[in-house]
Amino acid sequence: MKTVETKENAPSQPVLNQNTFSWLWEFTKGKRSTYLVSVVLALLGVACILLTYICLADLIRELISGGKDMHFYVQRGLQIGILWVLRYAFHGFSTYSSHGATFGLIGNARKKLLKKLGTMPLGAVQTRSSGEYKNIICDRADQVEPTLAHVVPEFTANIVGAVAMFVYMMHIDWRVGLWQLICIPAGLVAFGIMMSSTPKYYPNTIKKTKALNSTAVEYIGGIEVIKAFGQSRTSYGKFVKAAKEGADCFIDWMQSQNFWHNFGMACFPATMLGLLPSGVRYCLNGSLAPADLIVLIILSFGTVAPLVTVFSYMDDISKVGEIISDMADVMDEKDMVRPEKSSAQPKDHSISLRDVHFSYKDTEVLHGIDMEISDGTVNALVGPSGSGKSTIARLIASLWDVDKGQILIGGVDIRDMPLSEYNRHIAYVSQENYLFDLSVMDNIRMGRDGASDEEVIEAAKRCGCHDFIMSLENGYQTICGGSGGHLSGGERQRIAIARAMLKDAPIVILDEATSYTDPESEAVIQNSLSRLTAGKTLIVIAHRLSTIAGADRIFLIHNGDVEASGTQAELLEKSPLYRSMWESHIAARKEEA
Amino acid sequence: MFRTLKKFFDFCAEKERKQFYLSIFLGVFNALFIAMRIPAVYVVIKALLEGGLSKKTAYTAAGIIAASIVLQTAVSMKTTMLQTRGGYNTASFKRMEIAEHLRYVPMGYFNSEGLGKVTSIATNTMENLSGIATRCVMVVTKGIITTLVIIASMFVFNWKIALVALGTMIVYLIGTELMIRAERSDSDGATKAQDKMVARILEYVRGIAEIRNFDLFGRSITDVDPAIDDFTDYSTHLETTYEIAMFLLSTLNKLSGVVMMLMSIAFYLNGSMSLVYAVTMIICSFMIFESLDQVGAFNGLTRTIENCVDKANDALSSPTMDIDGKEISPESMTLTVRDVDFSYDTKKIIDGVSFEIPERTTAAFVGPSGGGKTTITQLLARFWDVDKGQILLGGKDIREYSYDSLMKNFAFVFQNVYLFSDTVENNIRFGRPEASREEVIEAAKAACCHDMIMALPDGYDTVIGEGGASLSGGERQRVSIARAIMKNAPIIILDEATANVDPENEELLMKAVDSLTKERTVIMIAHRLKTVENADQIFVIDRGRIAQHGRHEELMKEKGIYKRYISERKEAAGWKLGSRS
């Protein structure tokens, strides 16, 4: 897996499909009651606001009717003060519980995603880089939190609050209540025009941002090549152009809607425009008391302004949708279906493939493979690159499930065994050998739970890595570090082989082409591989045909089919393709020898 | 908060900084226009309470509000654009600065992980910054300025009440600052918990193949849940601090409003203030802090801005080399290394190495991994600067050359081939941008990849890489060789690959290497016996020194690393997995 930590396809069109919402809903399980508490608290907060304004209205009326009793005002003032305290206390608790729920929710999402990586086909897991997973599970999940946590209390408080105030105003005087809304149509038109430019500009920003990101990825990833070819000036020029365009597309978009955006923002909260003249008019004709008008003026601050706050969340919500749908994509991957307990035990370690079909991303790459591999034999898969030989190996290793047909081990379909049990039969040796941030001893011990120190050392000795381990600073207690940081590629690989040795799986799958991370230690690694594979059912994806010239059976894979199989001698006789591959290999070999 | 804003403004380039400052200045006017609501209300209340209410009152009030809308729109159109330009252009210029910076960073400095980090900063971090910074600067400055303008106009009515408002605002801002500090010290724990969680998750994700293979589920190494729960707890705890602070700050604002209201009434009752003023003040006391509340709400974002700025500055802090030398055409292609030392992270990698590679000869570097042979070849092409001693090309120190004029003399074939997501043709042409199509084809033929390219869906116009056709390891190698052939440089630095080569490509690859290296100075990290045997000189590099030096026949007579190495190579090449039946 790559470790490049970029999200190469930056913002994509937010996909708020059904699936996103149902997945989100599914995830709120267990936290729904907390969210409900948050809503109730937010509503109590709204009630406090309403009461505050009722108190205030009472106070204003008293003041205007000439009340001179300071005690009354102080009393009302205290009431208002207490109501404010309560309001913010409710609001605080509401936000707090919503945050608590959201943090918990994200924690659960993380756990579920990680668990999912254990149950979906390993091949599907590996289609994303570890950097991408970190992005989805760690970074972007964190970005969801503030919005999700605020949506519940803020939406409740602001929307219900605005509506409550409006109703209260309508109750005092419905005509003025309606008049204050006079600016809303203008504001809506402005926002409508603004939104209507989105389809024109949004795709462009996506395009330019993508272009910028891929230019950046290329420029930085290829900096070595760029400098080595003396092209840094030209490539830098390209980057500058992309960076400029990346900024300009947003600036242009903003420019195009600049008037409507600002006009809308100024218009929307301008309740006074309708309220003041209409209020004056009704006061003049005597149908509205002056005190009521003053109360209405104060109340109108609380009707439209909160709605504007709600608007500002809309952007964030669509971003959340985007992130959630990334998570949903992972969660939607098909799981490997395996029973809890196997129904039958394999009688030996032979492997049969029967009419195996497999498609990768809608393209069928294997078209009905039949293979028989006997217990304890050496078998090689050869073929041009892209022929499907690695795919066959990965299917046998249960990294993917077949689409059609079946794979049997000792007569038992591998899908009838739990993965953990099946894995005990198989060792898959490739270049990707991850060592955990534990001691060398514990890393090797992972091969077999409960193995003693002596057994670990014995395995290390057999793989020829005892000596170099002993020369490490703390011997077997040396911590390997993330990705086995302090060890060379060859050393890491030998430790991984020792681990596989300890596991002692009866079937070994070996990808030769990717087996040597480190040419200098090739011979040593080969020696350990020979020991690891001795007496096992062995399947080699062969790179050097001379390596497997003596194999019991060679399968020549071509275009997703088994073109021929047999011993080297048989294949040389009956397969022109094999013959030409062999000749090419020998020509290269002769140069060497 | 002000410190963060200052930090951000310092981070901006001159022009953008001025744009932000101008937008803040204009913000004062904007605030004045928003505050025009107060005189409108005042006119109505005055008429209501003191008599003289007429249609004219209605028109005046409506006129003031309408003017306020128009003026607000006009000014905020200007400020919005200033801030949008400021925010997005800052991000864009920082990206360029990072790209420019990379040109001067020693090439050997970055491993793939480091490059991934820089890429992420140039893309994600800057994207995040451009959006958030713009918004945050807008809200924070607007909130503070609007409040100040309202307070200033309150001084007209009653200075005592205005003082209370001013005091409240100061306490509020100090409170916000304290809250940020409290959060910062609190967030250390959360950051640690987060780092730990991320590390555990990464370990799990990277090791998932092993975890499944060895059925490690439920063992402590795979148990990420406690780390996740820990982070959840810390975040929740941090949120508690934040909520308490926000509660105190908001309550402060509102209670101060109540005090201002009661003061107005008291002044009215004792006769020092008219009823009209008192009512206007009460209304003011209700709306005064509404934009200030927004400032507090945006606090969390200032931390994000700070993070983004720190990350970008971090990317710009890696060491650089002086690459602006003279345009020099070397007199010969002889490379001379004199007593060179080189350390990396205080670890000495190369220790007093001297040698000479004459023109048109082949030098092979062999030795154990980690011995320093790759570093030596990198030093020759100035991927790094030496710590001591010097390296000369044609008798002149390579540091005297301008980087591009030095690079003209070298062509490289790396072990990890990097091809651009572009057409095959352009990838090959990258070696010499002015080359014609025919020349590209010629180079491709020499590198034995013409047939393979013609078999691609669009031939030379096929786009490779992400979203395009994928090539096998050996095919990529050959395209990179064609690219190097295209460059036609007199010195070739070659890391001979053995891994990832598909069998049917092996022979072609060797032919391609042959046509690239013909008649040139060749410096190679060699793995093939034949190339080593034919080299004019062989350097065996071990622990940063030249352990052995000479021709194959000479070295085979000595007891030492080389002889052992050759026999191991022979053994490896002849390795067989035998039949058992």
Domain boundary among B264, B289, B316: B316
Q: Are residues B238 and B357 in the same domain?
A: no
pLDDT computed for residue A81 by the predictor: 95
Residue of B nearest to A190 (CA): B73
Please state the rounded mean pLDDT for residues B265-290: 88
CB contact under 8 A, A240 and B61: no
Answer whether residue B70 is part of any domain.
yes
Give A261-304 pLDDT, tens digit per residue: 899 888 888 888 999 999 999 999 989 998 889 889 888 877 87
**A506 shares contact with chain B (CB less than 8 Å):** no
% chain A with pLDDT above 70: 92
Answer whether residue B325 is part of any domain.
no
Q: Are strands B347-357 and B335-344 parallel, antiparallel or unpaired?
A: antiparallel
Q: Are residues B275 and B393 in the same domain?
A: no
Please state the rounded mean pLDDT for residues A426-444: 83
pLDDT-based confidence at residue A15 (cuts at 50, 70, 90)? very low
Residue of A nearest to B224 (CA): A111
Q: Are residues B391 and B473 in the same domain?
A: yes
| End-to-end C-alpha distance for chain B, whole angstroms | 77
Q: Is the pLDDT of residue A5 over 70?
A: no
pLDDT computed for residue B190 by the predictor: 82
Asked if B503 and A584 count as a contact pair (C-beta separation under 8 A), the reply is yes
Q: Indicate which CATH number applies to the domain containing B241.
A: 1.20.1560.10
Burial (Cβ within 10 Å: 0-12, 13-18, ≥19) of residue B301? middle
Q: Are residues B502 and B394 in the same domain?
A: yes
Please state the rounded mean pLDDT for residues B9-27: 89
**B486 shares contact with chain A (CB less than 8 Å):** no
Domain range spanning residue B88?
2-316
Residue of B nearest to A434 (CA): B207
Interface of B with A in 531-550 (CB under 8 A): none
Give B52-69 pLDDT, tens digit per residue: 888 899 999 999 999 999
**B229 shares contact with chain A (CB less than 8 Å):** yes
Give B434-477 pLDDT, tens digit per residue: 899 999 999 999 988 899 899 888 899 998 875 556 787 778 88
Spell out which residues of chain A touch residue B203, defining contact as CB-CB under 8 Å: 436-437, 482
**A310 shares contact with chain B (CB less than 8 Å):** no
Q: Out of B72, B201, B414, whose CB is closest to A114?
A: B201
Write out the H or E segment, with its range, that includes residue B61.
Answer: helix B55-104
Structure token pair of residue B498: 């053995």
pLDDT-based confidence at residue A517 (cuts at 50, 70, 90)? low
Dist. CA B145–CA B138, nearest whole Å:
11
CB contact under 8 A, B58 and A280: yes
Interface of B with A in 408-437 (CB under 8 A): 408, 410-412, 414, 418, 420-421, 430-431, 433
Cα of B510 to nearest chain A Cα, Å: 8
pLDDT computed for residue A19 by the predictor: 58
Q: Indicate which CATH number applies to the domain containing B390.
A: 3.40.50.300
Give B91-122 pLDDT, tens digit per residue: 999 999 988 888 888 876 766 667 778 888 88
Dist. CA B202–CA A131, nearest whole Å:
8
pLDDT computed for residue A12 by the predictor: 36
Please state the rounded mean pLDDT for residues A360-375: 89
Going by C-alpha positions, the residue among B415, B312, B465, B116 that lies closest to residue A220 is B116
Q: Is the pLDDT of residue A11 over 60?
A: no
Dist. CA A408–CA A414, nearest whole Å:
6
Q: In terms of CATH, what superfamily is A20-183+268-331?
A: ABC transporter type 1, transmembrane domain (1.20.1560.10)
Dist. CA A236–CA B120, nearest whole Å:
17
Spell out which residues of chain A touch residue B107, defining contact as CB-CB under 8 Å: 223-224, 227-228
Cα of B340 to nearest chain A Cα, Å: 22
Q: Are residues B37 and B86 in the same domain?
A: yes
Q: Out of A134, A290, A584, whose CB is closest to B48?
A: A290
Give the C-alpha distances (Å, rounded to integers) separating A462 from A458, A459, A523, A525, B578. Answer: 6, 5, 14, 11, 19
- Among A34, A103, A282, the strongest candidate for a mutation testing the B interface, having the largest count of B CBs within 10 A, is A103
pLDDT computed for residue A124 by the predictor: 86
What is the separation of C-alpha B340 from the centre of its chain, rounded to a whole number of angstroms?
A: 33
pLDDT-based confidence at residue A13 (cuts at 50, 70, 90)? very low
pLDDT computed for residue A87 by the predictor: 92
Please state the rounded mean pLDDT for residues A549-566: 91
Structure token pair of residue A77: 């003032």
Dist. CA A272–CA A252, nearest whole Å:
33
Q: What's the angle, vertex CA B227, arms to CA B203 and CA A151, rounded to 5?
A: 110
B204 three-class SS: helix
> A–B: how many Cβ contacts below 8 A?
463
Q: Are residues B264 and B154 in the same domain?
A: yes
Dist. CA A465–CA A484, nearest whole Å:
15
pLDDT-based confidence at residue B498 (cuts at 50, 70, 90)? low
Q: Is the pLDDT of residue B82 over 50?
A: yes
Give Cβ neighbours of residue B347 (< 8 Å, ≥ 6 apart): none
Domain boundary among B267, B285, B316: B316
Q: Are residues B359 and B297 in the same domain?
A: no
pLDDT-based confidence at residue A573 (cuts at 50, 70, 90)? very high
Q: Are residues B471 and B560 in the same domain?
A: yes
pLDDT-based confidence at residue B327 (cuts at 50, 70, 90)? confident
Structural domain count, chain B? 2
CB contact under 8 A, B123 and A514: no
The whole-chain average pLDDT of chain B stands at: 86
Going by C-alpha positions, the residue among B303, B235, B227, B187 that lies closest to residue A103 is B235
Spell out which residues of chain B touch residue A281, defining contact as CB-CB under 8 Å: 55, 58
Please state the rounded mean pLDDT for residues B191-206: 87
Asked if B141 and A30 count as a contact pair (C-beta separation under 8 A), the reply is no
Helix (H), strand (E) counts: chain A? 24, 10
0.85 surpassed by complex ipTM? no
Structure token pair of residue A471: 């020369």
Q: Higher pLDDT residue, B211 or B578? A: B211
pLDDT computed for residue A37 by the predictor: 92
Going by C-alpha positions, the residue among A365, A421, A434 that lies closest to residue A393 is A365
Spell out which residues of chain A touch residue B116, defining contact as CB-CB under 8 Å: 3-6, 131
Dist. CA A117–CA A121, nearest whole Å:
8
Give A444-491 pLDDT, tens digit per residue: 998 888 889 999 999 998 888 898 888 887 889 888 865 455 677 778
pLDDT computed for residue A10 by the predictor: 33
Domain boundary among B288, B316, B344: B316
CB contact under 8 A, B369 and A520: yes
Q: Out of A279, A517, A587, whose CB is closest to B499?
A: A517
Answer whether residue B307 is part of any domain.
yes
What is the separation of C-alpha B528 from the centre of its chain, rounded to a whole number of angstroms?
A: 39
Asked if A438 and A479 count as a contact pair (C-beta separation under 8 A), the reply is yes
Q: Which pTM value belongs to this model? A: 0.79
Q: Are residues B120 and B220 in the same domain?
A: yes
Interface of B with A in 332-361 (CB under 8 A): none
% chain A with pLDDT above 90: 30
Going by C-alpha positions, the residue among B417, B411, B548, B392 that lies closest to residue B471 is B417
% chain B with pLDDT above 90: 31
Dist. CA A28–CA A6, nearest whole Å:
29
Answer whether residue B133 is part of any domain.
yes
Structure token pair of residue B353: 């190495």
